[in-house]
Chains A and B, each alone.
Chain A
Amino acid sequence: MVDLIIELVIIILKIGIVIGAVMMGVAYMTLAERRLSGFIQDRLGPNRAGPQGLLQPFADGIKLFFKEDFIPDSAEKLLFFIAPGMIFVPALCVIAVIPFGDSLNIFGREIQLRIADVNIGILYIFAIASLGVYGIVLGGWSANNKYTLFGSLRSVAQMISYELALGLSVMGVLMITGSLRLTEVVEVQRSYFFGFIPHWNIFLQPVAFIIFITAAFAETNRLPFDLVEAEQELVGGYHTEYNSMKWGLYFLSEYANVITASAVITTLFFGGWHLPWIEKIPMPQILLELLQIGSFVLKTAFFSIFFIWVRWTFPRFKYNQLMSLGWKVFLPIAILNVLVTGLFYAIFS
């Protein structure tokens, strides 16, 4: 009984820490987005609230909470109300299966550093991540505004055409790993080629990586594929009619999605929490674990910043370009990648 309670406390603690970390990451992503875009455009960005603008996310949050919560007269009230939640919950759920470390030994108790070690981890990620589109579709439709509806329609078409390429590009990684369990995906990447190059999937599946990261931009509705928002054409896209903290939830879930996508990219292609060459140096186990968690956080942060960096570099694709890129380029290449990987697998093993 005591054991069960301790287990429960540990799990709740882990969930709390991970959600807390993601939310802090989201808060500071908003600041990073604005400051980095400022630097890229030779500006300064917000730097007044606190040192270097570090308190800006909290100022923004307080502002959003105290804004008038206005619902348009013609809106479908119930769906309008729950749609932001429908995108926010999946955005946070995906992070549950991602291993952020090996295992920590505290007071003789082995703590696995992941919330849930699901044996269909990758399928779970795709299943939950696709649910996020309902938040966009219902939010855009229930607002009863033509621009939001356009945004929703685009979102659906974009999701369908990119999810295929996304799923197929991961197939190559799965064939190498032989498991859908993300723990094993990381485990396989812990060895070395020729004894010194880390056995990360990026070196085995570079094509899959490029397809995956490009499709991830489309999945998270970030530029150059942010047709769902497309400020210049659709006012604000699907969240035109939203304001106050409901709009804030859409905003937060966009960044939560970016962080999750970065974590998935790290896990699938860049060795997850694996910090190369560190195992050979003798050090206490707890320090090694902390270093590995640190390396996971750093890799994820790098890809999150890469998302921002790409946003402020490339212009938006046209709708037909987006579609033809998804169906005519990425889908065939992804299928070809699966075939070539299978061929190599058959010959060399």
Chain B
Amino acid sequence: MKRVSYKETWVDKLYIPAVLKGLIVTLKHLIRPHKNITIQYPEYKWKPYSHYRGAHRLNKDEQGRIKCVACEMCASACPAHCITIVPAPAPWEDRERYPIKFEINMLRCIYCGFCEEACPEESIELTEVYDFAGNSRRELIWDKEKLLEMYDLTVNEYYKGKPGTFSYSKEKKEK
């Protein structure tokens, strides 16, 4: 290894040039506040990459019915045991069972995406939605209606803009 040594000159020992250099570095950041790396959150939202694992949704088929056949593959794949399914005989010709109750505890879920992988019908899917909250624990146990609603919300893109970049998209303010 080559050792590089630097002999301090008397100018270095004054420390004032180094101090000024440091001040100039911070001044450059100070006068360019437009290069912020933070986002004005509620107005601007970050668009996740397409492989982002956010909140779940239950997909619908072309006739607007739930795709799920209540096979409970997702519930058994779930490492956090956060999916509860109560099956019932389906009212339709093309399948035997469908869920009358489908609940996901969003507080217990670890967003691993195993349910999505296990699903044979491509019914359960993880969306890009990351900003959801509730006022109680009960509120964050999402039922079938809520999960189907999520499908309607996210079937077209939920966050606007280019995924994964810092080109923010301004969401319309709800009135």
Q: A: which residues have CB within 8 A of B?
A: 36, 38-44, 210, 309-310, 312-314
Nearest to B27 among chain A residues (CB) is A309
A-B complex: 6 closest residue pairs judged by Cβ atoms:
A39-B33, A313-B26, A40-B26, A40-B29, A43-B38, A313-B22
CB–CB B26/A43 < 8 A: no
CB–CB A41/B40 < 8 A: no
- In the complex, given contacts A38-B33, A42-B33, what are 4 additional A-B residue pairs having Cβ atoms less than 8 angstroms apart? A40-B30, A44-B33, A44-B36, A309-B23
User: Could you tell me which residues of chain B, from 18 to 60, have a CB within 8 Å of some CB in chain A?
Assistant: 19, 22-23, 25-27, 29-30, 33, 35-38, 40
CB distance from A218 to the nearest CB of B (A): 15
Residues of B within 8 A of A42 (CB): 29, 33, 35-38
CB–CB B40/A39 < 8 A: no
CB–CB B23/A310 < 8 A: yes
CB distance from B153 to the nearest CB of A (A): 27
CB–CB B27/A314 < 8 A: no
CB distance from B62 to the nearest CB of A (A): 46
CB–CB A43/B27 < 8 A: no
Q: How far is the CA of A40 from the CA of B35 in the complex (A)?
A: 11
20 contacts between A and B (CB under 8 A): A38-B33, A39-B30, A39-B33, A40-B30, A41-B29, A42-B33, A42-B37, A43-B36, A43-B37, A44-B33, A44-B36, A44-B38, A44-B40, A210-B16, A309-B23, A309-B30, A310-B23, A313-B22, A313-B25, A314-B22
Residues of B within 8 A of A310 (CB): 23
Count of A-B contacts judged by CB separation below 8 Å: 35
Q: How far is the CA of A38 from the CA of B38 in the complex (A)?
A: 10
CB distance from B23 to the nearest CB of A (A): 6
Q: How far is the CA of A302 from the CA of B153 in the complex (A)?
A: 52
Residues of B within 8 A of A36 (CB): 30
Q: How far is the CA of A225 from the CA of B167 in the complex (A)?
A: 40
Contact of A39 among B22, B25, B29 (CB under 8 A): B29
CB distance from A303 to the nearest CB of B (A): 14
User: Could you tell me which residues of chain B, from 116 to 161, have a CB within 8 Å of some CB in chain A?
Assistant: none
CB distance from A307 to the nearest CB of B (A): 12
Contact of B26 among A38, A44, A210, A309 (CB under 8 A): A309
Residues of A within 8 A of B27 (CB): 309
Nearest to B25 among chain A residues (CB) is A313
CB distance from A150 to the nearest CB of B (A): 28
Q: How far is the CA of A36 from the CA of B31 in the complex (A)?
A: 10
Residues of B within 8 A of A44 (CB): 33, 36, 38, 40
